[in-house]
Structures are given as C-alpha cells and as structure tokens.
Amino acid sequence: DVKDLKDYYQNYFPIGIAVNVRSLEEPQADFIKKNFNSITAENDMKMGPLQPKEGIFNWKNADRIVDFAFKNNMKIRGHALCWHEQAGDWIFVDKNGNNVSRELLLERLRTHIHTVVNRYKGKIYAWDVVNEAIDDNPNNLLRKSKWTEIIGDDFIEKAFEYAHEADPNAKLFYNDYNSERPEKVERIYTLLKQLKDKNIPIDGVGLQAHWSIFEPSRSELEHAIQKYSSLGLEIHITELDVSIYKWEKEKRAKRPNESDEYTPELQKAQANKYQMFFEVFRKYKKNITNVTFWNATDKYTWLDHYPVEGRKNYPSLFDINAKPKAAFWKVVNF
Ligand code: G3I
C-alpha cells in the first residue's frame, strides 16, 4: 500500500513544492498533485516578474499557479513581496536614473504589496513578506541594499504593515537562508525580536533550508527551531533541498574533470541526512506548520547552476524520472 508523500504527513504539516508554469503541464502536473498539498511560485510572484514596469502587472503565470492550486485543493505560499534581488530595475530610480526619495520608494513598495496581496486575498494563506534582509557579514545586522540605502532599516516593518493592511488574515513571514547557522540565528532572532517588540504584524519565520549532506547538524537545527519558537512565531521550512556537495561561498565555473557522479555512498549519506531532518520536523510539529521543497525532482534544480555553474546536483527525494529515491523511503518510514 504505497501512499504519496503528502499523505504520510497528513497528521503533521502540508508538504509544499515550488513550481514554474512548465511544471503544471502533464505528466508533471499529476506527479505534483499527488505528492504535494501546498504550492509556491519559484519565480513568478517576485517583484520584478510581477511588476516589470511601474503600474504594468504581469499576472499570467502567477494566476495560472494560483488557479492550479485552488482547483486541486492545495495551499498557496506567496514568495516574495520584498527582496533585494529580482526587484524591477525601475523601482529604485526616477526617469534620470537617480535614486528616488524615501517617500516615493515607500509609496511604490506600498502600491506593489497592496496590489499583489489584494489580488490573491483569501487564496494565498502565507506570504514571505521580506526575504534575505540579514547581511552575510556577521558584523552587521542588515544587508546593505537599495532598500536600506533609500528607505532605511524600517523598510522591513513598513513591508509587514502594508501586507497586513491588504490582507489581515494572511500569515506573514520573514524568510532567510542559513537560518540555522549559529551566528546567523542570533542575528535573525535579534531582527525578529525587534519586530515583535514593536508589535509589527509578523506570524512566522521561514527557514529556506538549502542544506547539504554535510550541514546543518541535528543540534544546530533544533537550537534554531527552539530559539525562533520562543518568540511565539510559527516556522515554515520554505525551500528545502539537500545538496550532495559541501556549500561553497563563491559562485564559480565547473572545473575541468570535476566529478559530479552521484555515487551510492552519496545517495546513502543524503538519505540519512533527509531522515534526520524529518525526524526533527516531526518532533517539532507544533511549531513547524509547512514544509516546502524547492524543486520537485533531480531532473531540474537551481543547484545545477549554483554555486557551481554546470555541475549536476541531485538534491530531491525523487530521481530524474520522478521515481522515489532512498531518501524518500527514509522520510516516509516512521
Ligand atoms: O526568465 C529568464 C529567461 O528569459 C532567460 O532566458 C534566462 C537566461 O538566464 O533567465 C531566465 O531567468 C532566470 C530565472 O531564474 C527563471 O528561470 C534567471 O536568470 C535566474 O537568475 C533565476 O534564478 C532564480 C533565483 O531565485 C533568482 O535569484 C531561481 O530560479 C530560483 O530558484 C531562485 O530562488 C531563490 C529564492 O527565490 C530565494 N532563496 C534562494 C533561492 C535559490 O537561489
């Protein structure tokens, strides 16, 4: 009696998947409907793709994803209302290419968030409101970006307030990567605590979970979950994948003769790591309220391009033919 992925977890949390409109054509659509009960747009709800020019909204792909999810009874996580990447180039500048004023950028941010959140009101149950605002340099809290440069650090609270105005029932999340690395946990916690202390409408924190067979450890992960939960926040695992390579800091080209063989040893190590992650998710099922994978199968993954361009990766529970891998059987065996 083989069940589909989501069915094993029906007493725990929705199991989500990030998609492009391509993935909604058959036969992939059937695979997605069966295995997942929550959906996220991998790119189509980001600022630039949605509003490439001021006042010109491109709803086609986002609408298609929302319709698909709605028809198939899936929850929808929106990603992402405010990010330093994939924002339309126009948003920060005037006609002459100079930075706009703080007031004008706030106005544009408010219009963008209101328009988008309002369109999917009642359909998108949770939004990544601000994405990746913490700096990679541990000596700083916030990353320097056009948002901090023009508006200041309070762009974050403004974004949450605008989203809450537009849909008071949507759950609002702060989303980031490496959010279980000890030094980054402290800084994300500091930011979240500041927001809570100011009564900013925030419901949860998204752990992107771009992990690998080497990291994080069980204790690092549990520590992060406990620490964020202590603020009364929900936790979503928002972009899960488990790379077979050690994470590198810098983007680079593939070296000649560099191996990208997916050996039985790597498959086994990956299966064990996935097992540990899901043991922890189940243990904290009161706190963890959604677990979303970033790419559905090993056939297509953003990790084929990052951080090493052209090096094949195999981060999913399903192989290139969408068949369950060893990692899948570990995740559903409990
Ligand atoms: O759509 C264009 C296409 O027209 C063009 O021909 C092609 C040439 O490069 O690019 C296409 O756009 C690409 C887009 O994905 C759609 O495929 C962009 O170059 C590429 O940079 C973009 O990458 C996305 C990335 O975010 C952008 O930073 C990845 O697919 C997406 O997986 C990734 O997702 C992020 C999350 O939003 C936030 N957390 C990290 C995560 C992984 O980086």
Q: How high is the pLDDT of residue 283?
A: 98
Q: How high is the pLDDT of residue 92?
A: 98
Residue 208 Cβ inside 6 Å of ligand 1? The answer reads yes
The model's pTM is 0.97
Integer Cα distance of 203 and 206 in angstroms: 10
Q: How high is the pLDDT of residue 1?
A: 62
To test ligand 1's pocket by mutation, which of 42, 145, 173 has the most ligand atoms within 8 angstroms of CB?
Answer: 42
DSSP sequence for 187-199: HHHHHHHHHHHTT
Q: What ipTM was predicted for this assembly? A: 0.94
Helix, strand, coil abundance in the chain, percent, nearest 5: 40, 20, 40
pLDDT tens, the chain, 334 aa long: 679 999 999 999 999 999 999 999 999 999 999 999 999 999 999 999 999 999 999 999 999 999 999 999 999 999 999 999 999 989 999 999 999 999 999 999 999 999 999 999 999 999 999 999 999 999 999 999 999 999 999 999 999 999 999 999 999 999 999 999 999 999 999 999 999 999 999 999 999 999 999 999 999 999 999 999 999 999 999 999 999 999 999 999 999 999 999 999 999 999 999 999 999 999 999 999 999 999 999 999 999 999 999 999 999 999 999 999 999 999 999 9
> Which residues are 324's β-sheet partners?
318
Catalytic, 239? Answer: yes
Question: What is the tally of helices (H) and strands (E) in the chain?
Answer: 11, 11
Q: How high is the pLDDT of residue 319?
A: 98
CA–centroid distance, 42 to ligand 1, in Å, is: 8
User: Relative to the CA of 306, which ligand 1 atom is closest?
Assistant: 43
For 297, phi then psi, to 5°, come to -140, 175
CA–centroid distance, 200 to ligand 1, in Å, is: 30
Helix (H) or strand (E) holding 64: helix 60-71
Integer Cα distance of 121 and 162 in angstroms: 13
Catalytic residue, candidates 42, 132, 180, 239:
239
Integer Cα distance of 37 and 15 in angstroms: 6
Q: How high is the pLDDT of residue 2?
A: 73
